[in-house]
Each structure stands twice: as structure tokens, then as C-alpha cells.
Amino acid sequence: MAKRGICSRRSGETLIKEGRVSVNGQTVHQMGFQVNPDQDVVEVDGRKVPSEEKPIAIAFHKPRGVISTCRTSQEKGLAVTDYIDLPYRLYPAGRLDCDSSGLMILTNNGSLALRITHPRYHKEKEYIVQLKSPLSHRALAKLQKGIDLSDGPICPKRIWILPDSMVGIIITEGRKRIVRRMFEVIGNQVVNLHRVRIGEVKIGDLTSGAWRYLSDVELESFQIDRNP
């Protein structure tokens, strides 16, 4: 039931104790009762539990210093999934450097993850970047034309200068540390990198460490239906 998005594991135990869960028409009272989701009919309060896992997608504001993985270790510290108390197996659709912050999308929907991460879909990722030194107009022009990196050329879709040594940049690629490496090539250094948008999903007023479900409109922008 937890894997299908009906309730948490603890709440599931309460439902069983209260006699509200049945398997193939028979009320279940035993904890840990085994079922075959492809054959058995599980109901809660007379309503059938779906045989497939409920598609879930959330927007998460990753704090700086948190790793973009599903597990933690003593060496690496906190991971993004440590902030999300949901009974689903979610994984990041794309990553964000440990020393960067901002918007991430986590999901159990493989089609959504593919549409966010695969280059052929050209999904925009927008960042606000704090640089060590102000970006000159000459350097800006160079970046706008595209530059060569060790793993191939990169040309941002848009880049613009902001006050206080900051720039805004939009790219459609997701290569490792690609934004930081772009500025290294022109002799500058990224002090802080913050992602504010992925496709049509914006971080908005989501506070650091907080998350929210993607809306139907946001899912539709990736051509994903919340209830396929």
C-alpha cells in the first residue's frame, strides 16, 4: 500500500489493525501478509489499490552541500531524499552539484525523467550564477558564440549580465559541471550556482530544503499525464 501511494507504512499497519484492508474479498488482520500485486485484489475501505505504482513527481529546493543521490553515507553527508518523507521510491531526474543549490525534480516516472534529462528533448535549465569577477561584455560575446570544452562544444541558449558580478544563463544540456567549466575556460570562477527553472517548472518561493508536488499543468508541459 505504501509503494502504491495509499498511505505510509505506519498508517498501513493501522488500517490493517482496524480491519479496513482486504485481499481477494477477505479481511486481513496479519501484519506482513504477502500478496501478488499481479494477481491479488487488495482493497482499502472497499476501494481497490492500483496494481501499478502511483506516478509521483516533486519539485525540491536542494540546499548547498547536499548530494543529488538517493542514499547517504558518513563520507558524503545528507542526500536529497533525506528531506522528503514520502512512501515512494523517488530518484532525481538529473543532478545538481553538491556545492550548488536550487531546483531539482524527483520522480518514480521513467518517462518524465527521460524527458528532463535526455538531450533530444532540449529542456531548458535556467541558472543564476555568482562569479568571482564581473563578466565583461567581451567575455559575454564569446560565451554567446559558443566555446569548446574537453567533452565537446557548448553554446548557451541565452546568457545575460546581472548586477553584483552575477549572470543569468539558460542551457539545454546536462553534462557534468558544465556551467562551472564554461566560465573556467574564459578565466572566471563560479562562486555560487543556483538553478531556478527546469522546463516550465520554476522554483518560485520554495524555500531551501522544501518540496512540493508538480502541478498537472507542469506535468503536461513534459507531455506526462498524472493519471495515465
Residues pairing with 158 in the sheet: 170
Find cell 559558443 and name the residue: 146
The per-residue pLDDT for range 21-58, each reduced to its tens digit, is 999 998 998 888 888 877 888 888 888 876 666 678 99
* Overall domain count for the chain: 3
Q: In terms of domains, do 129 and 183 share one?
A: yes
227 domain-assigned: no
146 shares its domain with 178: yes
pLDDT score, position 53: 66
Q: Is the pLDDT of residue 74 over 70?
A: no
Question: Which one is catalytic: 40, 45, 85, 97?
Answer: 97
In a domain, 78, yes or no: yes
pTM for the predicted model, two decimal places: 0.77
CATH code, domain carrying 192? 3.30.70.1560
Active site residue 97: yes
The CATH number covering residue 29 comes to 3.10.290.10
Residues 31/37/40/41 CA torsion (nearest 10 deg): 90
Q: Which of 48, 54, 82, 53 is nearest to 68 (CA)?
A: 82
The parent domain of residue 168 ranges over: 124-198
Q: 195: closest CA among 127, 138, 137, 129?
A: 127
pLDDT tens readout for residues 145-182:
999 999 999 999 999 999 999 999 999 988 889 999 99
